[in-house]
C-alpha cells in the first residue's frame, strides 16, 4: 500500500491544524508510514467562506455522504464536534469499513461503547487520542505504556479553562467573575462557559480515562460533579496559608471491585507535582500497582497540540492498514460496574466557616468533630474585620464522605457557627 | 499463535521483577495478547543460590547458549547489565532470529546503532523502554505519541540518585558528602556512585533520547558532562534566595541542523514543573514545534517500575509476533550529526564568588561584565562571617557559553575577586 485517502468531517480550528500538518509534513509522514496521505474531501458548512488555507475548491463539500459513503476514502477524521450528527456519521463510516479518528470527547464519553463496538464489529480502527489532554499522549500511555500494570487511581487536571481561572485567582487577589471575564476576552473561556466551569467537560474526560484504565463501562451519571463557580478568593487564601493550592481535579479510583469517579475543586499540597500545573496546561497523574506514580503533562487544548494528536493517530491507522492489522486494537470494557458508596469514600477535607467570637465557641465546634469521629490536622482562626466573628479554616485527617457531610450539616445547626462558607476535599500527602 | 517462549539473561532485581509479573499476571497477559507466555530458561551465575522466587531448577542455566541458541525460545529479555557479554549475547540472539527486549541503557547508549541495525537486518524486534526513566513510557511517547511533531528540545531529570542527593541538600542544610552516605545506606546510591554522581548515567540516557527524538546517531563523546560532586550547600542556598532550585539536568537541543547535548547541574525556576520532581523521581520535559511543552514524570528506577516497562515491551513484541509484523518498528537514525559550537550555545548563568569588601570592588566586577557584553538579571551580595569579604551570587541574562566562560576566567584575574566559587547554567523562564 503506497497511498491512503482521508476525509475530514469539519474544518474549524482543529481541522485547519490537521490540514496544515498533513500539507507541511507530507514528506516526513511518507517516511514514517511508507505511504502518501491525500486529503480527498472536507465537510464544511459553507463552501464559499473565505479561509486561512488555500485549497482546491473541489475538495470541499457540504454533504457528509461525499465522505462517509465515498468508496475512495479509507480514513475519516471527525473534527466537527457536537453529538448527534457526529455519532451518526461515524457509525455510518464504520459500517462502510472506514477507519475513524475523532477528537470529540463529548461523543466518546456519551457513546464511546457503541462506537467502539461498531468499530470492532466492522474490523475497523477507532482512535481518539485528541479527546483527552490535547497534546498529551495519555490514552496511548494508558493502553500501551502502562499495559503491564494494574492502575489503581488516576487524578487529573483535564480542563484548561478552569485551571486557567483558578491559577489566576491564586496569583492575584481577584474574584472568579473578574478572571472569567478576562479569560473570555483572551479566548481561554467560551462565551457560554457552563460546560467548563461546571465541571462537565472534565467529567467527560474522566469517563474516557476510567473506561481505558479499568476496563469498566462507566457513564457520565456515575461521576460526582462539582464546578468552580462557588470558589472564593478566601478559599484560595486560606488554602495557601495551610500549604495547599486549589485545582479542579478529576479522580477515578478502583478498589476492591468498586469504582468512584468525581470532579471537584480539590486542595493539593503545594509540593505535589500537579500543583505546579498552571494556567491552561493539563496533567494526568496515574498510580499503578507496579509502576508507582507517573504523570503526563502538556497543553490541554489548542489548534496544533490537538491536531498533532489527531495526526499521530492517523500515522498509527496508516501503519495498521499497511500491516493489515486494523481493528485489532479496539479496547472494549469487559468488567462489571459497581460504584463505591459514600461511606466508603475516604478523604481528607478542607472546611472554612464563620463562628461567633465568644467564649466556648471553639470548644463546641471541636466537640462536634470529636463526636463525629473526625480528627483535625491543621487549623487557622483569624478575626474577621467586621468584628464579633472569626473565620476558621480546617484541614481534617482522613474521614469518609458521608461522615464529613453529616458533620457539615450539624455544624450549620450549632448556635456558635454563623456560616459554613465552603468545604472541599484534600488530595495527596502534605 | 497461542504460545510464546521467553528466555531471561539475568535474574537480579529487574529479572526477579519480570518473573514476578509474568507469573502473577498470566491470565491478564493472555487476555491482552491472546497468547500464553512461558519462561523457558533463565541465565544465572549460580544455579544453587537460594532465591526469593521458587522456580523449577531445570529452568535455570549457567550457559547463555541454552537461551540465545535455543530453538524453542522466541524472545530474549536481557536484564543482566554490563556491556561486552550483553552485547555479544544480544547480537547472537538477533542473528538467531530471536526478538530482544533490554533494560540496558549503558549498552544502548554505546552500541545502540549496531544492535538496532542487526535487529533490522534480521527482521527482529528490539525494544528498550526500560533503559530510560524506568516506569515512565518516554521512549514509546517519543516514537509514537509525538510522532507527528518536530521535537526541538528535551530537558530531563534522568538520574534518580543525583536527584535524591540534590533534593535532600535542598530540604536540609547538609553537605553533599553527608547525603551521599545516607543515600548509600538507604540503597538509593551504589557503593561506587561514580557513574551516577559524575553524570555518566544521565548522559547515556540523553544519548538514547536524542537518537530517538532527532534521528541523529549521537555518541557519549558528543555530550558535555558535569556531575554534582562540586555542588555546595551555599550554591543551593543562594539559588533559593534568587527563586531557583538546582537539579542535574540533561538538555538535548536541535536547531538549524545543529545538535547540542549536555548534562550539568542547572538552576530551574521553582515554578517550573521539573522543579517539583523530588527525590528518586525522574521526568522528561519535551518541547515540540506543534505540541508545545509536554512532561513525562515517574519513578526512574526500582524493581517493579523497570520490570513493568520490560513486560510492557514484551506485550508489544508478542502482539507483533501474532500479527507477523516484528522488525517493522526499528528506528534507525537517518540524519547527519553536526554539533553546535560553544559560541552558539545560548544560556543564562548563575555565578557565585567571593569579593574583597572594599570600595570600588563591585564597580570593577560590573564593569568587566559590561565589557564582555553580559548583562545581569539578579544579584545578591551578603557579607561573609569571616569579614573582609562578601559573597556575591548573580543570575545573568542570556549570553553564550564561550563568552561566559571567558568572563569567569577574567573575573578570577581581577584583584578585587578572591575566588569564583561556582557557576551553573540557568534553564527556563522565571
Q: Which residues of B are catalytic?
A: 205
Cβ distance of B145 and A140 shorter than 8 Å: yes
Domains of chain A: 3-134+303-323 (3.40.50.720), 138-299 (3.30.360.10), 343-426 (3.30.70.260)
**A–B interface: beta-carbon pairs under 8 A:** 162
**Touching check for B110 and chain A: CB below 8 Å?**
no
Residues in chain B with CB shorter than 8 Å from the CB of A273 are 273, 276-277, 297
pLDDT in tens, A123-145: 999 999 999 988 888 998 888 76
SS3 A188: coil
**Touching check for A308 and chain B: CB below 8 Å?**
yes
Q: Chain A window 321-380: which residues touch B at a Cβ cutoff of 8 Å?
A: 323, 325, 328
Q: Give the span between the Cα atoms of B370 and B376, in whole angstroms.
A: 9
Q: What is the complex's ipTM, to 2 decimals?
A: 0.85
- For residue A408, the distance in angstroms to the closest alpha carbon of chain B comes to 34
Count CA atoms closer than 13 A to B119's CA, side-chain side.
Answer: 29
Q: Is it the case that residue B347 has pLDDT exceeding 90?
A: yes
Cβ distance of B295 and A299 shorter than 8 Å: no
Cβ distance of B145 and A147 shorter than 8 Å: no
Residues in chain A with CB shorter than 8 Å from the CB of B294 are 135-137, 296-299
Cβ distance of B137 and A135 shorter than 8 Å: no
Q: Is it the case that residue B146 has pLDDT exceeding 80?
A: no
Cβ distance of B148 and A272 shorter than 8 Å: no
What is the separation, in whole angstroms, between the first and last Cα of chain B?
56
Cβ distance of A294 and B293 shorter than 8 Å: no
- For chain A, how many residues are written? 430
Candidates A135, A141, A272; nearest CB to B291: A135
- For residue B4, the distance in angstroms to the closest alpha carbon of chain A comes to 17
Q: Chain B window 136-175: which residues touch A at a Cβ cutoff of 8 Å?
A: 136-137, 140-141, 144-149
Cβ distance of A298 and B294 shorter than 8 Å: yes
Handedness of CA B203, B207, B208, B210 (dihedral sign): positive
Q: In 10 A of CB B175, how many CB atoms?
A: 12
Element (H, E) at A422: strand A417-426
Mean pLDDT score across all residues of chain B: 92
The whole-number pLDDT of residue B191 equals: 92
**Touching check for B428 and chain A: CB below 8 Å?**
no
**Touching check for A314 and chain B: CB below 8 Å?**
yes
The whole-number pLDDT of residue B405 equals: 94
B190 CB-near residues (< 8 Å, 6+ apart): B161, B184, B196
- Are β-strands A376-383 and B3-9 bridged in parallel, bridged antiparallel, or unpaired? unpaired
Determine the average pLDDT of the residues in B286-311: 90
pLDDT grade, residue B145 (50/70/90)?
Answer: low
**Touching check for B305 and chain A: CB below 8 Å?**
yes
Return the higher-pLDDT residue of B228 and A333.
B228
Q: Is it the case that residue B160 has pLDDT exceeding 90?
A: yes
The whole-number pLDDT of residue A143 equals: 82
Residue ranges in chain A modelled with pLDDT below 70: 145-148, 430
- Are β-strands B75-78 and B3-9 bridged in parallel, bridged antiparallel, or unpaired? parallel
Cβ distance of A295 and B296 shorter than 8 Å: yes
Nearest one of B42, B55, B26 to B311, comparing CA atoms: B26
Q: What residue in B sits closest to A32 (Cα-Cα)? A: B147
pLDDT grade, residue B32 (50/70/90)?
Answer: confident
pLDDT in tens, B66-92: 999 999 999 999 999 999 999 999 999
- For chain B, how many residues are written? 430
Where does residue A215 fall: left (phi above 0), alpha (psi -120 to 50 degrees), or beta otherwise? left
The whole-number pLDDT of residue B430 equals: 55
Amino acid at each position: 500500500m503506497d497511498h491512503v485517502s482521508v476525509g475530514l468531517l469539519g474544518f474549524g480550528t482543529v481541522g485547519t491544524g490537521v490540514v496544515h500538518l498533513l500539507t507541511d509534513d507530507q514528506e516526513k509522514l511518507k517516511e514514517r508510514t511508507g505511504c502518501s496521505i491525500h486529503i480527498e474531501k472536507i465537510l464544511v458548512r459553507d463552501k464559499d467562506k473565505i479561509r486561512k488555507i488555500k485549497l482546491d475548491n473541489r475538495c470541499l463539500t457540504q454533504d457528509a455522504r461525499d465522505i462517509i459513503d465515498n468508496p475512495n476514502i479509507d480514513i475519516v477524521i471527525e473534527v466537527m464536534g457536537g453529538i448527534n450528527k457526529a455519532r451518526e456519521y461515524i457509525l455510518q463510516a464504520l459500517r462502510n469499513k472506514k477507519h475513524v479518528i475523532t477528537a470529540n470527547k463529548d461523543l466518546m464519553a456519551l457513546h464511546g461503547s457503541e462506537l467502539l463496538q461498531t468499530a470492532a464489529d466492522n474490523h475497523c480502527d477507532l482512535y481518539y487520542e485528541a479527546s483527552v489532554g490535547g497534546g498529551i499522549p495519555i490514552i496511548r500511555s494508558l493502553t500501551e505504556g502502562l499495559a503491564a500494570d494494574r492502575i489503581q487511581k488516576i487524578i487529573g487536571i483535564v480542563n484548561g479553562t478552569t485551571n486557567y481561572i483558578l491559577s489566576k485567582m491564586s496569583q492575584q487577589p481577584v474574584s472568579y467573575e473578574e478572571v472569567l471575564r478576562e479569560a473570555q476576552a483572551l479566548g481561554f473561556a467560551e462565551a457560554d462557559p457552563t460546560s467548563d466551569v461546571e465541571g462537565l467537560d472534565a467529567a467527560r474526560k474522566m469517563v474516557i480515562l476510567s473506561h481505558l484504565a479499568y476496563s469498566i463501562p462507566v457513564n457520565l451519571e456515575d461521576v460526582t460533579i462539582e464546578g468552580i463557580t462557588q470558589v472564593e478568593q478566601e478559599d484560595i487564601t486560606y488554602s495557601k496559608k495551610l500549604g495547599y493550592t486549589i485545582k479542579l481535579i478529576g479522580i477515578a479510583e478502583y478498589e476492591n471491585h468498586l469504582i468512584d469517579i468525581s470532579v471537584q475543586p480539590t486542595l493539593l499540597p503545594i509540593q505535589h507535582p500537579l500543583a505546579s500545573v498552571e494556567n491552561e496546561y493539563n496533567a494526568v497523574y496515574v498510580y499503578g500497582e507496579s509502576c508507582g506514580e507517573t504523570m503526563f503533562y502538556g497543553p490541554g487544548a489548542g489548534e496544533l497540540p490537538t491536531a498533532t494528536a489527531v495526526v499521530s493517530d492517523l500515522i498509527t491507522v496508516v501503519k495498521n492498514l499497511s500491516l493489515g492489522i486494523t481493528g485489532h486494537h479496539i479496547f472494549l470494557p469487559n468488567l462489571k460496574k459497581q460504584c463505591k458508596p459514600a461511606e466508603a469514600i475516604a478523604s481528607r477535607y478542607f472546611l472554612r466557616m464563620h463562628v461567633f467570637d465568644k467564649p466556648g465557641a471553639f470548644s463546641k465546634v471541636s466537640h462536634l468533630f470529636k463526636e463525629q469521629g473526625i480528627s483535625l490536622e491543621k487549623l487557622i482562626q483569624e478575626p474577621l474585620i467586621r468584628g464579633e466573628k472569626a473565620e476558621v479554616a480546617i484541614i481534617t485527617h482522613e474521614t469518609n464522605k458521608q461522615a464529613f457531610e453529616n458533620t457539615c450539616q450539624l455544624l450549620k445547626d450549632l448556635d456558635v457557627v454563623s456560616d459554613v462558607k465552603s468545604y472541599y476535599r484534600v488530595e495527596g500527602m502534605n
